[in-house]
Amino acid sequence: MEVVLPFEVEVPSLRILVESGLKESESAQPRFDQLNLIEGKRLAAMSHGRLYQRWVKKTFDKKVRPHKFNEGDLVLKKVSQALKDNRGKWAPNYEGSFIINKAFSGGALVLANMDDEELPSLVNADVVKRYYASHLWFPLEFLVLCKLWSQHLMNVGLMIRFSTLMLCLLLL
């Protein structure tokens, strides 16, 4: 018997075919079968990958809460970490209270400070969070009615301040 290289056993050369007495068509059929199996395994792996990606997306999206901002909402803007602050970990994480002047569909926001001066650049919705001022928890109509009522009480002769009235209403 003659010495044969290992790769010649896997992929038969012409010399191996002649020695074994196989026809080329007989040796080609198992190769085609192997190619078909490889294609099936590749398709199975691709479908498994798609299923896994869909599962990961579904799991991630469970905890995602979309940010929906409207014009006139009050927000706080995250402080940029690029700017060094000598206070270290005691530095504030959010700055100011801003009003949203315009909200775009892609998540970009045009912010203005409380003096109605717009910021020079757009801000992404990911770096802001909604701000609930304590005096804005009540609807505006309710606050106007309370103010009118406190003025009425003052006209009647009862000296009561608006802030005292609001405190009493909060305690109710």
Distance CA(109)–CA(95), nearest Å, equals 16
Q: Check residue 122 and give its pLDDT.
A: 92
Taking Cα atoms as reference points, which of 63, 81, 75 lies closest to residue 123?
A: 75
Pairwise pLDDT comparison (165 vs 100), residue with the higher score: 100
Pairwise pLDDT comparison (156 vs 31), residue with the higher score: 31
**Six token digits for residue 63:** 């905890």
Q: What is the DSSP letter of 79?
A: P
Amino acid at 103: A
CA 25 from centre of chain: 58
Q: Check residue 108 and give its pLDDT.
A: 92
Taking 80 as the threshold, does the pLDDT of residue 111 lie above it?
Answer: yes
Residue-wise burial string across 62-97, b where 16 or more C-beta atoms lie within 10 A, e elsewhere: eeeeeeebeeebebbbeeeeeeeeeeeeeeeeeeee
Taking 60 as the threshold, does the pLDDT of residue 32 lie above it?
Answer: yes
pTM of the model: 0.46
According to DSSP, the residues that pair with 129 across neighbouring strands are 76
Taking 60 as the threshold, does the pLDDT of residue 168 lie above it?
Answer: no
According to DSSP, the residues that pair with 95 across neighbouring strands are 77
**Six token digits for residue 148:** 């009118």
Pairwise pLDDT comparison (40 vs 9), residue with the higher score: 40
Taking 90 as the threshold, does the pLDDT of residue 110 lie above it?
Answer: yes
**Six token digits for residue 152:** 């009425």
Q: Check residue 129 and give its pLDDT.
A: 92
Q: What is the DSSP letter of 87?
A: T
CA 119 from centre of chain: 24
The CATH fold assigned to 74-132 is SH3 type barrels. (2.30.30)
All residues at 6 or more sequence positions from 126 whose CB lies less than 8 Å from its CB, including other chains: 67, 107
Taking 60 as the threshold, does the pLDDT of residue 166 lie above it?
Answer: no
Residue boundaries of the structural domains of the chain: 6-62, 74-132, 140-171
Q: Check residue 156 and give its pLDDT.
A: 57
Pairwise pLDDT comparison (38 vs 152), residue with the higher score: 38
